[in-house]
A and B are shown apart, each in its own frame.
Chain A
Amino acid sequence: EAGVAQSPRYKIIEKRQSVAFWCNPISGHATLYWYQQILGQGPKLLIQFQNNGVVDDSQLPKDRFSAERLKGVDSTLKIQPAKLEDSAVYLCASSLSGANTIYFGEGSWLTVV
């Protein structure tokens, strides 16, 4: 079974530039999550989708972050404009609807300089 796919794996951008991360969840997983993990900390949930609807985006900095899952499968997370403090790993994860086990991708590492 293919896992959660993310790209790009690494990205270096200058502050005030924009960046987009793509995620393809495990086939059949209705729930998709984006987490932000700053070095030395645990992951923090940014947004949770159920199919193409948003379940929770309470910790998403909406002035600069946006995410979409238009057809209920792939998702894109965008940051515009980026700040130095956005340097982190962005983890995409998915799960079956109602299931407790979450499957994570390898992450997209962002460095803002």
Chain B
Amino acid sequence: SQQGEEDPQALSIQEGENATMNCSYKTSINNLQWYRQNSGRGLVHLILIRSNEREKHSGRLRVTLDTSKKSSSLLITASRAADTASYFCATDTGGGNKLTFGTGTQLKVEL
């Protein structure tokens, strides 16, 4: 079963704009991770936020976590065409790095 639900399912923006995608999950977590998947390729780890953290930054990425609402958001600032991909959140609920992935957000960045 899918633990996470991403919203929106699809997002189309212009280059230079910011992109925000959200993830909601159902059960308590140890950590939440975001991955990117380019079309026809494997997934690439972007960033991890632990359950006791509220915000984390990595380059143009900003992740927030609200455990009371069981939700997370991924913000990509100053988007580029190369950011076009699907983005998935994944939750680790029981340790052991057993990840449950959400349904993904398809981001398209147009020139």
A binds B: yes
Q: Which residues of A contact B (CB under 8 A)?
A: 4, 31, 35, 40-45, 48, 55-56, 91, 93, 95, 99-107
- Which of A99, A102, A106 has the most C-beta atoms of chain B within 10 angstroms of its own C-beta? A102
A99 touches B97 (CB 8 A): yes
CB distance from B40 to the nearest CB of A (A): 8
For A42, give its contact among B2, B31, B41, B42 (CB under 8 Å).
B2
Lowest 9 CB-CB distances: which A-B pairs, in order?
A42-B101, A104-B42, A104-B43, A106-B42, A101-B45, A43-B101, A42-B88, A105-B42, A42-B102
Q: Which residue of chain A has the shortest Cβ distance to B89 in the bound complex?
A: A42
A sample of 30 cross-chain residue pairs with beta-carbon separation below 8 angstroms, ordered by A number, consists of A4-B42, A31-B97, A35-B101, A41-B2, A42-B2, A42-B4, A42-B90, A42-B103, A42-B104, A43-B43, A43-B101, A44-B101, A48-B96, A48-B97, A48-B98, A91-B43, A95-B97, A100-B31, A100-B48, A100-B92, A101-B45, A101-B48, A102-B99, A104-B42, A104-B44, A105-B42, A106-B41, A106-B42, A107-B41, A107-B42
Q: Which residue of chain A has the shortest Cβ distance to B41 in the bound complex?
A: A106
**Alpha-carbon gap, A104 to B101, bound state (A):** 14
Q: Is the interface of B mostly helix, strand, loop or mixed?
A: strand
Interface size on B, residues (CB 8 A): 22
Q: Give the residues in chain A near B88, CB-CB below 8 Å.
A: 42-43
Q: Give the residues in chain B near A99, CB-CB below 8 Å.
A: 97
Q: Give the residues in chain B near A95, CB-CB below 8 Å.
A: 97
CB distance from A41 to the nearest CB of B (A): 6
B71: interface (CB < 8 Å): no
B99 touches A45 (CB 8 A): yes
Q: Which residue of chain B has the shortest Cβ distance to A103 in the bound complex?
A: B45
B33: interface (CB < 8 Å): yes
Q: Give the residues in chain A near B48, CB-CB below 8 Å.
A: 100-101
